[in-house]
Structure 1
């Protein structure tokens, strides 16, 4: 069973997205993109990584569950004269044809997938072989992890959402 997803379009995510730009730069650089690479940015938010990849000549599709953030990303692309497309969708059911992407990237997006196994299966489904996957995730320890865990627990309590059964980017301990 998939946990209810949070509505990332509520509030001013653009402020957080601006702070995450250095992480997007690192992910895109690590992907080693070549002109013409077909890239899917999973959990693209306002388009940081998608736009960086498109500026390098990649054919980019950004996917995010938050329609408002997809609209922000598309507006940014148009304003900056960057060719990229954006689609509303979840990591566990990407609106992308089979074997149509060369590279999957995600900047702190895929780690919030409600169904980690389905998200991984979807990445596998949309990628060609060989392919590259570059993801960023919070480490499952330390101050940033503790802060995010506390914030996530507070949001889940406020909206009545259960704790996800699985989470990408965390480890189970006994």
Structure 2
């Protein structure tokens, strides 16, 4: 089993994705998506950005490595009557079956950054983008004080060290690494731009309940809790994460959740 596939098929990421819908729709509204545009949504999950892209009239293909998320995405598209949005299984490091220069826009929001072999990922995204088209990535930033970077930082402190040769997905949040990867795929540096952006997680339940959903359904956090349990540190990890979620909550009431997280928005012009 591909370890990356196993990670994202673990649990049920749709439980987290439900808190991302509002920001996903708001982000897509900024991308200039119009009727007739062909869009590849890479590492799409169950369609947090793919569904809004299709709602705006684009022809959207969502690709994700997790078969359970692909199935969930297809169910969501069908339930909304979106015949212009389909989901299929695939690996961002090797988009076999997708033709060169076949998409006007390639979008990957917190998706392709988690695929191994980042130079292959950049090359594949460039390969399938039409000349004059663009690639937009949303990537978490290493060491950032906001929610997701801190969840991953805390979780990593409880898990065994990664295997030799492992490249942290968080390096997609470092501008110099992004430039190096896309330059190696033939994109000049001046065609790559960056902006710090905010993605807000919203939920009709408390931050502590939100933390428990990460514990139960989010692959990296699930792995951290499994490792912590072996070392008798489950309570420590839970305490750290609970404090993090509650301290970052900006909702007017503790019974609901609104937590902003900073990310690096990357735009690559082909």
Q: Is the 8 A contact 1:116 1:166 kept in 2?
A: no
Q: CA distance change for structure 1 residues 161 and 74 in 2, over 3 Å: closer, same or farther? A: farther
Moved more, 132-141 or 118-127: 132-141
Whether the 8 Å CA contact 1:27–1:105 is kept in 2: the answer is no
Structural RMSD (CA):
2.4
8 A Cα contact 2:141 2:174, kept in partner: no
CA distance in 2, matches of 1:64, 1:119: 13
Say if 2:28 is the partner of 1:28: yes
Matches within 5 A, 1:1-174: 4-5=3-4, 6-83=6-83, 84-95=85-96, 96-140=98-142, 141-144=144-147, 145-152=149-156, 154=158, 157=160, 162=163, 164-167=166-169, 168-171=171-174
Deviation at 1:27, TM superposition (A): 3.0
Q: Distance in 1 between matches of 2:121 and 2:23?
A: 21
Structure 2 CA distance, aligned partners of 1:4 and 1:35? Answer: 37
Distance change in 2, residues 1:57/1:97 (3 Å):
same
Runs of 4+ in 1 over 4 A off after TM superposition: none
- Judged with a 3 Å threshold, the aligned counterparts in structure 2 of structure 1 residues 59 and 152 are, in CA distance, closer, same or farther, namely farther
Say which is worse superposed, 35-44 or 90-99, in terms of deviation. 90-99
Per the normalisation by structure 2, the TM-score is 0.57
- State the secondary structure of the residue aligned to 1:41: strand
Per-residue CA deviations over 1:111-149 (Å, capped at 9, x if unaligned) read: 112111110000000000101222111122214212223
- Once the two structures are TM-superposed, the CA of residue 7 in structure 1 deviates from its matched residue by 2.7
**5+ long unaligned stretches in structure 2:** 176-270
- Relative to structure 1, the CA distance from residue 31 to residue 97 in structure 2 (aligned partners, 3 Å threshold; closer, same or farther) is same
TM-score normalized with structure 1 length: 0.86
Query: Is contact 1:31–1:132 with CA below 8 Å preserved after alignment?
Result: no
Q: For the structure 1 residues 146 and 129, does the alpha-carbon distance in structure 2 shift closer, same or farther, using more than 3 Å as the test?
A: same
Task: Tell me: CA distance 1:25–1:112, structure 2 relative to 1, closer, same or farther (3 Å).
Answer: same
Largest Rg, 1 or 2: 2
